Amino acid sequence: MDRISIDAITFYAHHGVLPEERELGQVFQVNLELGCDFSSITADHINQAVDYRLAVEVVKEIICGSPCRLLETLAARIADQLLLLPGVTEVKVEVRKPNPPLPEVKGGVGVVTKRRR
């Protein structure tokens, strides 16, 4: 299986369990792996490949859309929509909060989900 990776797609949004997270917002980062098949590409043209610009748009619509309480919900919504893109047969989605409201956590928190068509 061939893969396209897109790292550190970053948006400011209003998700979280705590009221202040939903009111004030924070930075969210998304890392993607898109499973596809490069062997069907016979010409050097975007029409034959997975257009990863569309994947970034999917992430933007979901992260900047309706607030969720859980990172797990965001990751699942993104994964489900990415599987609808032409040529994408499996996805790995990581959603991260680089600065969660936990003073003890210095490296961020995140969730990972994988889906397959």
Per-residue pLDDT band at 67 (split at 50, 70, 90): very high
Q: What is the pLDDT of residue 43?
A: 82
* Token output for 32: 């993607």
Domains in the chain and their CATH numbers? 2-116 (3.30.1130.10)
DSSP string, 51-110: -HHHHHHHHHHHHTSS--S-HHHHHHHHHHHHTTSTT--EEEEEEEESS-S-TT-SS-EE
Per-residue pLDDT band at 31 (split at 50, 70, 90): very high
- Residue in 60, 92, 97, 106 annotated catalytic: 97
Residue 106 annotated to the active site: no
Reported as a single tens digit per residue, the pLDDT across 77-113 is 999 999 999 999 999 999 999 999 899 999 999 999 9
Report the predicted TM-score, pTM, of the whole model to 2 decimal places.
0.93
